[in-house]
A and B are shown apart, each in its own frame.
Chain A
Amino acid sequence: LYVETMHWSGTTRERASACNIVSDERWDVKIVVCMKEVIDLSQLRFKADKRTPIMEGLPRVLGQFDKNALEGALQIKEAGRDIEVIALSAGALKLRDTIKEALAMGADAAVLVLDPLLARADFTFSAHVLVQAIHKIGDVDLVLMGEGSDDEYTGQIPARMAASLGWPQITTVRELGLPEPSRVRATRDLEQELEVLECELPAIVSVTSELNTPRLPPLTAILKAGRKPVQEWSLSELLSEEVPSEGQIRVLSNLAPAQERKQEMLEGDLEQQIASLLRALEGEGAI
């Protein structure tokens, strides 16, 4: 099923689909959804100082906004066109398990860039790796991803990738469609207004959680996910340069803010809690 040697020729759209990793036939539209593996923040706990997050041993999941992006791609696919949806992710070996959720949701295939070094790469380098993967996949029409990642939430990846690819970017999108196979129409959610843009593909779109509610895959789909094609690339297969020892940003600290709030948990039964709450609020002159 795989075409093992995939060389990006430098042009994308004219080329025959040598890199179609699902089947030999030419798909009309190829959508790549960039999905980041993140720690499950609902499990985050802090050390005794109440400020230092304990990052070790947390379960890893796909980013929630990236799942909105995948759901968006699947809905476009299900609108009836001949569309291929590839989940793309870069990270450490654990990704092989994590990405199964995307396959179970309905992605046709996955492309993984696997390297332990990616664990210490900063997000700018990750954007660079993803761009190289987009080149190598080839013939990509539309790249989708969440507006930010659950953990770092820099939101920089879509714009950096778009600049690097020379593609237009449409960020924080809450409505998305392909009116024609070669054209995307997207509604951006800005603070005070909605902005509708259209552009020729290829393009990069980042989505908000308003776009949809990602589907929960049925058990049968989860079981079948392991049989879907997964292409793995190492970093050295993708680029010649080394992972930079220092990123563009140096983190000085990452701690929960020092508490200025009282954080007083009210005790006793409900009646007592309410009574002490109202007493406290009266004391503060808040009521």
Chain B
Amino acid sequence: MAGVLVFSEQDRLAVDLLAWAQMQGDLFGPATVAALGAGARRRAQWFLQYQPVRVYVCEHPALEAAVDSVLARALALIAEEVDAGLIILAATRRGRSIAPRLAELLGAGCVTEAIELEVELVTGRYALGGNTVCREIITTPTKVVAVMPGVLEPPTAGPPSGEIIELELALEAPKAALVERREKPKTAVDIAQSERLLCVGRGLGREEDIGLIQDLAQALDAEVACTRPLASELGWMSEDRMIGISGKKCSPRLMFSVGVSGQVQHTVGIMGARVIVAINSDTNAPIFRLADYGIVGDLYEVLPALERVLRARAGN
């Protein structure tokens, strides 16, 4: 009988996918989740509180380093084992690397970075640099979908149920060897929790001008955030202040976006903001289409003026 296979290297994300699959009832068949690599048996026990029909467990030594190509091979073998018509992964960067490789092995169509996943398996994802949402369906019999983290509702845990099945998979050692994994450096601030954010992008010309941003942030009582180029390319800010696909997803009550063009890689991280104010010198910047209030102007003129007014207001 056909079924749905669910996988993420992050267990927390896997259960979101599992819950979605279970909500579809019999549409795709029973939902099974794969626990692969180091600690898989222990993790399988944890999965049971989210009531999958089955957890497939494999602790094959080839999976220990969690190399994408081996994970894709293992999932392809399990998909065949359970006759999965649908395989859902979380669209982390690793998931986005595994999903198309798995799809190629299975001869399956694949959609990555889905921000919408509807009952009839209509997916939506950003295209044209984030300007559009492309809604599409996979036409192959076997389908692979990688869903962006945070798109699906997290389930609540219940009494454990489901079957744990240990698999012997014929896997070869990965050709790519893991040298090391290291955590990215962090600062004390978690912008994902901030009520107010002032986010700055490439419109800021020089690193010395960050003072201008910090002054306004102080007047606004906001934390400073940035787009990817300012952190990971220019190194003007630490990467944990970065908003977007490779950074944080933020839901402040008020967000000022300054000198940010509004590319998708960034804007997926600000969708949860309640009110967005955009300040940009380019009238056509996509950010204005995502903003509630827009000011077209040079940030070097707008920011000091705004700060003066805010400070005068606070003084009253």
Residues of A in contact with B (beta carbons under 8 Å apart): 41, 44, 50, 53, 124, 127, 150-160, 162-164, 167-172, 174, 185, 188-200, 203, 208-210, 213, 246-257, 259, 261-266, 270-271, 273-275, 277-278, 280-281, 284, 286-287
Contact = CB atoms under 8 A, between A and B. Distances in A.
Chain A interface, >50% SS class: mixed
B246 interface: yes
14 contacts: A124-B109, A151-B129, A153-B127, A154-B100, A159-B97, A193-B182, A194-B181, A197-B177, A198-B176, A210-B233, A248-B109, A250-B137, A256-B131, A266-B293
Contacts of A157: 100
Interface in B153-180: 174-180
Nearest to A211: B233
B97 A195 contact: no
B275 A281 contact: yes
B145 to A, nearest CB: 11
Contact of B184 (A192, A197, A255, A262): A192
B254 A191 contact: no
Given A248-B110, A249-B139, A270-B301, A199 B127 contact: no
Contact of B112 (A156, A168, A210, A255): A156
B135 interface: yes
A237 to B, nearest CB: 24
B109 A197 contact: no
Interface string B275-292: 111000000000011111
Contact of A274 (B111, B128, B184, B309): B309
Among all A-B residue pairs, the 6 with the closest Cβ atoms: A248-B109, A156-B100, A163-B104, A159-B100, A199-B176, A196-B179
B315 to A, nearest CB: 14
A248 B135 contact: no
B293 A280 contact: yes
Contact of A199 (B101, B104, B139, B177): B177
